[in-house]
Chains A and B, each alone.
Chain A
């Protein structure tokens, strides 16, 4: 049951591990005054400043955008910068590195297996018109409906919380995991992309979406509201239809024609002068 009483002090129970000196991880307690609005990340910084200068973790933006500070906080993968101590409704805050990854040190997990699987699935727009991509003459045409097909998946910040929550990835490191698969679907679902066949070479193998049990935990814990479980099911459907020759890769979106016959509204200022690509800048 949640502890709703007001506390003047909060205990941070942190899982520590230094590979140079420790044989195994262990827990250490640190006491801090409970200040309103304090995030777990701020708590960690206070501990590092005042009690344990050797404490290690990853963080950068402090506003839930960079995806660096994914941690296992009170039994759930969360972003430390995005989690206020008060919302945990407990006087004890347990902080551990994300499960399902090796530990580099203290709260720093080794995310390279996730990044490698992500890179292997070609997470970028693949098209044949190399000339247009290198020297664009305009934007690729895309409707709002087509944008909706992949928009939510593009909010992924690669924090690894979904990987830490995945029960399949916990037992089977051969499984690519929700982040790489979800991001592969993000590009497969993009109307500007034509790389389904190329990604299929990776995704249709043993590491592909087949191993997903649809537990849905990845979607539950995602701090950005992305639904990787849905992406994986949609990918399964696409691959099954592809095997049955019922899947037709649509032609990648063409370059949008310049708008003609439009007049500039009065009072709208000119765009600032171009700086990128200008010689000498």
Chain B
């Protein structure tokens, strides 16, 4: 049952990545065709556009969501690869612990970075 739950979240995270990464690619690389979320006619990586996106609550939420989904999706995949090597039960438990701890730590750091850039963009704007 546990694997059924983990797998379902893995699939869900994959869908979130697909949507948000698609949005990122559209914003950053298809600006010549689809001008969304770019406040000025400059390049998407131009300071004015970066700050404009950075001020957006929508982007703050999407960054954090993408971070969480990518961390879960990637670490669950890594866990599966390690488990396919058929480690002992104690090692499996240790791998689970390390991946959960690393995932939470990276999520906290990434969320803090997104929040800090959001605050900076509001001041800079």
Q: Which A residues fall within an 8 A CB radius of B?
A: 168, 171-175, 200-201, 204-206, 208, 210-211, 236, 239-240, 242-244
Least Cβ–Cβ distance between A237 and chain B, in angstroms:
9
Within the assembled complex, what's the spacing in Å between the Cα atoms of A143 and B9?
35
Q: Is B11's beta carbon under 8 Å from chain A?
A: yes
The total number of A-B Cβ pairs within 8 Å is 42
In the bound complex, residues from chain B placing their C-beta under 8 Å from that of A240 are 4, 7-8, 11
Within the assembled complex, what's the spacing in Å between the Cα atoms of A240 and B5?
8
Q: Which residue of B lies closest to A167 (CB)?
A: B84
> Interface digits, B3-15 against A, CB 8 Å rule (1 contact, 0 not)?
1111110010000
Most chain B C-beta atoms within 10 Å of own C-beta, residue among A172, A200, A204, A210: A210
Establish whether residues A204 and B84, one from each chain, have CB atoms under 8 Å apart when the complex forms: no
Interface CB pairs A-B, < 8 A, 14 = A171-B86, A172-B86, A201-B1, A205-B2, A206-B3, A208-B3, A210-B80, A211-B80, A239-B7, A240-B7, A240-B8, A243-B4, A243-B5, A243-B8
Please tell me which one of the listed residues A171, A172, A173, A208 contacts residue B4 in the complex, with CB atoms under 8 A apart. Answer: A208
Least Cβ–Cβ distance between A82 and chain B, in angstroms:
32
Q: Which residue of A lies closest to B1 (CB)?
A: A204
Within the assembled complex, what's the spacing in Å between the Cα atoms of A174 and B3?
14
Q: Is B123's beta carbon under 8 Å from chain A?
A: no
Establish whether residues A173 and B8, one from each chain, have CB atoms under 8 Å apart when the complex forms: no
A210 and B7 contact, Cβ closer than 8 Å, known pairs A204-B1, A205-B1: yes
Q: Is B90's beta carbon under 8 Å from chain A?
A: no
Q: Is B85's beta carbon under 8 Å from chain A?
A: yes
- List which B1-44 residues lie within 8 A (CB) of chain A: 1-8, 11
